Structure 1
Amino acid sequence: MLKFLFLNILLMSFISSWEIVQVLMFVFCFVIMMSWNGNFSFFNLGCGLGVDCLSYVLILLSSWILALMICSSQKVMKTGYFSGGFLSVNLFLMSALLMAFSSMNYLLFYISFESSLIPTLILILGWGYQPERIQAGIYMLFYTLLASMPLLVCLLSLYNSNGSLTMGITPGVLSDSFSSILWYMSAVLAFVVKLPMYMFHLWLPKAHVEAPVAGSMILAGVLLKLGGYGIIRILCLFPSLNKKLVWVWVCIGLVGGAIVSLMCLRQVDVKSLIAYSSVAHMGLVLCGLMTSGWWGVNGAVVVMVGHGLCSSGLFCIANMVYERIGSRSMLIGKGLLSFMPSMGLWWFLLSISNMAAPPSLNLLGEIQLISSLVGWSNLSMIAISALSFFSASYTVYMYSLSQHGVYYSPLFSCSSGKVREYMILMLHWLPLNFLILKTGLIFYLFCLSS
């Protein structure tokens, strides 16, 4: 993995030329694609870093979203507002994500996990839209830091008792004592806040609304997946405790997801609606991860990848509208079909993917998650039905309110869309809908990783 880290650091020497960095980021994605080796459980080993199937998928998703995110932030380049610093922050964030997803030591993973918070905070504070971005940044900083400090104490305690923090070698905690339950809650809490779980989600809508398009895309596309990835890695240390407490997480995930879906129906800010929909989707992912079954974990990873592409595309298209009309309110930005007819198709395609309509990758993942949860308990069907119904409801609400109706009177003319914008949306939509044709390969990958 060091060669990819060095390649990413090498890109920082080209920050004076925006176009070169854009092209080299896609070359970087291609190099990662070509590095796949499915014959071994771990590959690209060295210096405490290594990649398995799960890490590989999330690293590829990170590089792809980051390349698209730089393409979507042309306004920073045109205005010349610290464009070199903007590229440097994004490349530093990519380095932190590479380290986090390829770490084979829990302490190194924790350091990388926290390091990704710094460039995200700089993106929000430096290139955010409103004065409230300071409050949003502080919310995100303190929610994440306060929740992850107990995880550090837990890891140090495990190292003191076991003498190792290497993934796959560190023995699990099998006792059911009060201290073991405390360590379990401390370890899991750091990741469910990052996921985020209902009740700990308040930082996410604020961060999304105040962040620039690059911040929103990387937050929804990749950084939320750090929480799911951390849960997968940490649960193997507490097998018996998780089996006894899984009902807590499933109840919070399903009921919280249904409540957040209802909250989506009263949102007027389009970015806030997309952010709350992320919380609802991640509630279902949390349930699948905590059941620890093969179908549940596999479905959760597939939904994480699908949601990363879909929500990133929705934030991207919402920003395209914002740059034209100067408002995120759907009451002002309604009737878009009248003066942006070509963009209406992409609103429709990304909206139906958000509600897990075929043939999107979200559908494949949600089928597995629902099967896993119904197999765990038949009572979960009630909350799953509500969650699925309201998910479709708020997506239809977002699409119909934004595309139909009488458009705002001061808007007389508008560019329907540029080739660059259509290309970015297509690069979100194509992998989201064509990866389902390779379901056998997806199942094979996660068979290897499990």
Structure 2
Amino acid sequence: MMKIMVYMFFMIPSLFFSVDWNLFQFVIIFLMFITLFCSGFNFFSSISYGYGLDNFSYGLIILTLLIISLMILASMSVKNSFLSYMFLLVNLFLCFSLVIVFSSLNMFIMYLFFEFSLIPLLILIYVWGYQPERLVSGLYLFFYTLFASLPFLLIIIYFMTNKMTLYFDMEFYIPYSFIIHLFMIFAFLVKLPMFMVHFWLPKAHVQAPVSGSMILAGILLKIGGYGFIRFMYLYEYPFLNYGYIWYSLSIVGCVLVSIICLIQGDVKCLIAYSSVAHMSICLIGLLSMTKWGILGSYLMMISHGLCSSCLFCLANFSYERLHSRSFFLNKGMINFMPSFSFFWFIFCAFNMSCPPSLNFFSEVFILNSMLFYWGNSFIYFIFISFFSACFSYYLYSYIQHGLPFNFYSYSLGNIREYLLMLTHLIPLLFLILGINFFF
């Protein structure tokens, strides 16, 4: 693990001397392939200096490196701007902190970089965001995360004083206190985000540049699920005792958020709310505490990371041409960009979990685990499935069909944009072939 961190650390000087975006992207992808050949399919491997890989962090680290390299590809409008090398530096710091969060074996180091990842993200939103409202959305993001993570720090101090260790592979006998359980997972519930503490997400997504939206949807929401898995493995009884509270909020919230999606007038806002709905399903799978549920949630984290990131890219392609994210102005795109319409269709279908995508398999696993946990869950699942199909269909049909508001034709995208789409699409289709690794 240390080789990956030293590799990233020594990339910093290169950004000040020769800023070559293609080289930076190649270096990140090369690092992804190095990580790909590490063995992550057993309990902690590649352990060095308090960092290691296991089968949960393995996929998420590879996803982080892939999304970071695609962010660079999607942000070519920043390339010729004044602070292009600073943009790469901020992305490198973000990448570095996320890799440490996913590979750390120590709770305090994980907490430290969990908080630090907020700073590069705020810089991305404030410096390269679009509207003046980004100041308010940055404040929402900052205060929600800060408010939720202070109790988590108290829990870490409690572990250190009582158990004298902070390593994840120890067994902690945690009291059945609801307060301790709440403090331990509240930071992750806000990061997911769970329904009721999700208000920061649409604001942050809408005001962030495309790179900020991609990293938020692709990786930062997954820290919540990852932290949940890590702390669930420490001691299961509080989760068995109090899990029904978060389960109930998630299952009701998922239906409500799916309905909220249908009244949005902003394309990015709708995709952001659909992320809340998907992460609620992910939380439902985790709280069922079955092997299928946790595997389904893990696969959903990876599939949602790719699918949602790509939808934000597609929304950005329209924004770059029309300079608007409104549904009322983004109409009749099938006349202008028929080839992009195909990708819109594919990713809207994958967003509502159509086979043969990874999303479909993850929802099948989660549905089984829901029925194990509470037999009547299927009633809610019917609504969740129906409304998610509704908002995905609404997103596609409203943008692609109808009369365009102006008659300027730009039928072709460029090669960079098609490459970006395909790089999101290929892993989503072909990861299904490797699903037997998990059994």
1:26/1:64 contact within 8 Å kept: yes
SS of structure 1 residue aligned to 2:52: strand
- 1:138 matched to which residue of 2? 139
8 A Cα contact 2:337 2:413, kept in partner: yes
Question: What percent identity do the matched residue pairs reach?
Answer: 43
Q: Deviations over 1:308-342 (max 9, x none)?
A: 00000000111011000100011101100001111
Deviation of 1:416 (Å): 2.1
| Partner-residue secondary structure (3-state), 2:246 | helix
What are the Cα deviations for residues 138-193 of structure 1, in whole angstroms up to 9, with x where unaligned? 000000110010000011011111111111114231x32xxx22111001111000
- 1:315 and 1:334 map into 2 onto residues whose CA distance is 17
Matched, 1:32 2:35: yes
Query: Post-superposition shift, 1:375?
Result: 1.4
> Are the equivalent residues in 2 in contact too, given 1:337–1:404 (CA < 8 A)?
yes
Aligned to 1:430: 426
Q: Hey, what does 1:151 align to over in structure 2?
A: 152
Shift of 1:238: 3.9
Could you say which residue in structure 1 is the equivalent of 2:384?
387
Are the equivalent residues in 2 in contact too, given 1:221–1:311 (CA < 8 A)? yes
> Does the residue aligned with 2:47 lie in a helix, a strand or coil?
strand
Quote the offset at 1:307 in angstroms: 0.2
Residue 9 of structure 2 is matched in structure 1 by 9
Map 1:165-314 to 2 at 5 A.
165-173=166-174, 175-176=175-176, 180-314=177-311
Q: Which residue of 2 aligns with 1:447?
A: none
Runs of 4+ with deviation above 4 angstroms: none
Q: Which runs of 5+ in 1 are unaligned?
A: 445-450
Residue 83 in 1 paired to residue 79 in 2?
no
- The answer to whether the 8 Å contact 1:151/1:186 transfers is yes
Offset of residue 19 of structure 1 = 1.8
Question: C-alpha separation between the residues in 1 aligned to 2:235 and 2:383?
Answer: 31
Deviations 1:388-414 (A, max 9, x none): 1000000000000000000012x4122
Q: Does 1:407 align with 2:404?
A: yes
For residues 408-430 of structure 1, give each alpha carbon's deviation from its aligned partner in whole angstroms, at most 9, with x where no partner exists. Answer: 12x41225201110001000011
Cross-structure match for 1:71: 73
The one-character-per-residue Cα deviations of 1:259-304 (angstroms, maximum 9, x if unpaired) are 0000000111100000000000011111111121111111000001
* Cα distance in 2 for residues equivalent to 1:14 and 1:327: 36
Instruction: For 2:171 and 2:94, locate their aligned partners in 1 and report how far apart those are by CA, in whole Å.
Output: 28
For residues 317 and 392 of structure 2, the distance between their equivalents in structure 1, rounded to whole angstroms, comes to: 19
> What amino acid does structure 2 have at the position aligned with 1:13?
P
> Over the residues paired in the alignment, what is the CA RMSD in angstroms?
1.1
Corresponding residue number in structure 1 for 2:320: 323
SS in 2 for 1:236: helix
What amino acid does structure 2 have at the position aligned with 1:14? S
1:43–1:51 contact (8 Å) kept in structure 2: yes
CA distance in 2 between counterparts of 1:13 and 1:342 reads 40
Matches of 1:243 and 1:384 in 2, distance apart? Answer: 21
Alignment check: 8 A CA contact 2:348 2:392 kept = yes
Normalising by structure 2, report the TM-score.
Answer: 0.97
SS at match of 1:343: helix
**Equivalent residues of 1:333, 1:407 under 8 A apart:** yes
Which residue does the alignment assign to 1:97? Answer: 98
**Letter aligned with residue 48 of structure 2:** G
Of 33, 51, 54, 1:52 maps to 54
Number of equivalenced pairs: 436
Distance in 2 between the 1:253 and 1:274 partners? 18
Q: Please list the CA deviations of residues 46-103 of structure 1 after superposition, one character each: whole Å capped at 9, or x if unmatched.
A: 111111111111000000011111100000003x131100000000001101110011
Equivalent-residue separation in structure 1 for 2:404 and 2:144 (angstroms): 39
The secondary structure found in structure 2 opposite 1:55 is helix
Measure, in 1, the Cα distance between the counterparts of 2:374 and 2:288: 10
CA distance in 1 between counterparts of 2:40 and 2:179 reads 39
CA–CA distance in structure 2, aligned partners of residues 37 and 321 of structure 1: 38
Partner of 1:439: 435
**Alpha-carbon distance in 2 for matches of 1:37, 1:223:** 21
Larger deviation: 379-388 or 357-366? Answer: 379-388
1:162–1:170 contact (8 Å) kept in structure 2: no
Q: In 2, Cα distance between the equivalents of 1:297 and 1:161?
A: 29
TM-superposed CA distance for 1:13, in Å, is: 2.6
Q: CA deviation at 1:257?
A: 0.5
CA–CA distance in 1 between the matches of 2:173 and 2:90? 37
Alpha-carbon distance in structure 1 between the residues aligned to 2:159 and 2:178: 13
Aligned to 1:18: 21
What is the CA–CA distance in structure 2 between the aligned matches of 1:35 and 1:259, rounded to whole Å? 41
Match of 1:448 in 2: none
Whether contact under 8 Å (1:172, 1:236) holds in the other structure is no
Matching residue of 2:360: 363
Asked if structure 1 preserves the Cα contact closer than 8 Å seen for 2:288 and 2:372, the reply is no
In 2, the alpha carbon distance for the partners of 1:8 and 1:170 equals 33
